């Protein structure tokens, strides 16, 4: 296994200030009480720290969830049509609990898996026996990952002393600090070469590729403005757009910073950016999960996106991500209530918070259709909430596979957006008794199999055998970045 870069210092992560709608009943910033799982989530990152649970809140959840309904540690459960066919544990500098596995991208016979310490390339030619071929050590929290031709893009969302893979943790108040987008050459996939970097305000939490004629544009989503920060001062109601010339990626630069919320969105006069944007180039549209708002955006001119409609949901605390159905008439928005650290899959939180909200889109406006949340109760040591997923390419059907952190993975049909129905799932028992952040971060369908990046347990491959998805087995992509949604 090749290691492309080494660092002497450990991974240093900083808290990201939340700007999500306040959810004072259950998940809120610790005020008068100590965070019950502070040690387990310290420095953990996708907005984990700022919405931890207090001791009294954990006790309330524990009282409401019967032990008999909880899957014990070390055990697995699921439907017979969904089977785990392979697992590759984390290795080397990625094996620690602080090195969280994150997002996934695909190209040809390779899967590219982000980790807070860098990324791993897997050969998935035989999905039942994947092989790790390259591990690149390049710390900088999140490491949201995409690929495009010979290029790989990596988001850094924590202040670093510089833009190298040998950097250490920095301070947002220091004008010399760096965070943003890193670009690698993967023409030799076994030996990725770091070629350039672009600083972006508030770093890069996630990013989205929008193909152009001679360039690929990167929509950088970032948030968490801080008056003391050198490059992330409020108001922060914009995205950064990077132009990467395909024949000279080393010249990548920011070409626009459009303000999506001139009226300050849903933040009481101080927006904080977007968490995630999914582009659907076939329709010239994008859907954004922008803190307190869900939006549909016209991206027919990639450097001049225009918000077409904007919705708010009283049950949503933290708009996290969005996915169109194939014909662009429905959109799944996810609510990452608690930032991914909380045990929100229980009767106390209920079925409509920390869930998906499905909206219909008629070309002019968004209309609420329904909520979907996994029905299985999880232990109070299991962080569980709606997270990253993708369509399964079944023509004429809308079927979604999704990660739910320690809630496992779920497959549901939302062809009728008013009546989403689950028909496959897989779950593991709690990772440990201390509330360590774990579970499926990203779970995507690619060329016949489901791939999942499990935060602590490693790289999972699942086989879904069900007549409802049989047509998807014949759909093949040369490349897949789920936030650049393909038509099938």
> Is position 19 within any domain?
yes
11 belongs to a structural domain: yes
Of the ranges 27-41, 81-95, 125-139, 407-421, which one carries the lowest mean pLDDT score? 27-41
The fraction of the chain above a pLDDT of 90, given in percent, is 81
Residue 487 within any structural domain of the chain: no
CATH number of residue 374's parent domain: 2.130.10.10
CA atoms within 13 A on the CB side of 439: 30
Q: Is the pLDDT of residue 266 over 90?
A: no
Edge-to-edge strand ranges of the sheet holding 356-361? 319-324, 330-335, 356-361, 366-372
- Domain with 373 in it: 2-480
* Domain contains 485: no
Q: Is the pLDDT of residue 5 over 70?
A: no
The mean of the pLDDT values for the chain is 88
Position with higher pLDDT, 277 vs 50: 277
Question: For residues 205 and 317, what is the distance between their CA atoms, to the nearest angstrom?
Answer: 18
Query: pLDDT at position 26, please?
Result: 35
* In a domain? residue 488: no
Residue 175 lies in a domain: yes
The domain total for the chain is 1
Does residue 470 sit within a domain? yes
Could you give the CA distance from residue 62 to residue 109 in angstroms, rounded to a whole number? 44
Residue with tokens 């608690």: 338
State residue 37's pLDDT score.
Answer: 58
Per-residue model confidence as pLDDT tens digits over 204-249: 999 999 999 999 999 999 998 899 999 999 889 999 999 999 999 9
Quick: pLDDT tens for 135-155: 999 999 999 999 999 999 999
Angle at 437 between CA 435 and CA 439, to 5 degrees: 115
Residue 70, pLDDT above cutoff 50: yes
At 11 the pLDDT is 23
């Amino acid at each position: 296994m090749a290691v492309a870069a080494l660092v002497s210092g450990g991974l240093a992560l900083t808290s990201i200030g939340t700007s999500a709608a306040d959810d004072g009943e259950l998940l809120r910033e610790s005020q008068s009480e100590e965070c019950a799982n502070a040690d387990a989530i310290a420095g953990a990152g996708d907005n984990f720290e700022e919405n931890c649970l207090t001791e009294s809140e954990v006790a309330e959840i524990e009282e409401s969830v019967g032990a008999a309904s909880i899957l014990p540690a070390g055990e697995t459960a699921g439907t017979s049509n969904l089977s785990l066919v392979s697992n590759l544990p984390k290795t080397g500098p990625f094996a620690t609990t602080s090195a969280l596995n994150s997002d996934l991208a695909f190209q040809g016979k390779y899967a590219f898996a982000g980790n807070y310490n860098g990324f791993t390339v897997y050969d998935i030619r035989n999905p039942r026996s994947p092989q790790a071929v390259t591990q690149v050590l390049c710390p900088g929290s999140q490491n949201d990952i995409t690929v495009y031709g010979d290029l790989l893009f990596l988001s850094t969302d924590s202040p670093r002393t510089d833009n190298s893979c040998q950097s250490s943790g920095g301070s947002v108040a220091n004008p010399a600090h760096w965070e943003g987008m890193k670009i690698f050459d993967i023409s030799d996939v076994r030996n990725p070469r770091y070629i350039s970097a672009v600083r972006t305000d508030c770093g890069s939490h996630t990013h989205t590729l929008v193909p152009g004629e001679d360039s690929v544009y990167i929509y950088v989503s970032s948030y968490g403005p801080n008056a003391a920060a050198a490059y992330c001062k409020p108001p922060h109601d914009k995205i950064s757009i990077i132009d990467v010339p395909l024949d000279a990626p080393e010249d990548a630069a920011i070409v626009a910073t459009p303000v999506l919320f001139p009226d300050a969105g849903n933040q009481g006069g101080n927006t904080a950016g977007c968490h995630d944007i999914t582009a659907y180039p076939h329709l010239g549209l994008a859907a954004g999960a922008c803190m307190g708002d869900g939006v549909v955006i016209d991206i027919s001119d990639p450097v001049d996106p225009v918000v077409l409609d904007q919705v708010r949901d009283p049950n949503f605390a933290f708009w996290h991500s969005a996915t169109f159905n194939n014909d662009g008439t429905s959109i799944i928005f996810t609510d990452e209530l608690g930032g991914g650290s909380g045990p929100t899959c229980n009767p106390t939180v209920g079925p409509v918070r920390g869930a998906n909200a499905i909206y219909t889109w008629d070309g002019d406006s968004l209309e609420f259709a329904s909520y979907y949340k996994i029905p299985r109760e999880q232990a109070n040591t299991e962080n569980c909430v709606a997270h990253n997923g993708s369509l399964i390419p079944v023509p004429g059907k809308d079927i979604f596979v999704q990660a739910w952190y320690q809630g496992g993975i779920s497959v549901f049909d939302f062809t009728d957006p008013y009546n989403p129905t689950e028909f496959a799932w897989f779950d593991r028992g709690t990772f440990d008794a201390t509330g360590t952040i774990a579970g499926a971060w990203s779970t995507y369908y690619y060329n016949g199999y489901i791939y999942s990046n499990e935060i602590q347990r490693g790289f999972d491959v699942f086989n879904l055998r069900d007549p409802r998805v049989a047509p998807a087995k014949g759909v093949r992509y040369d490349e897949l970045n789920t936030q650049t949604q393909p038509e099938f």
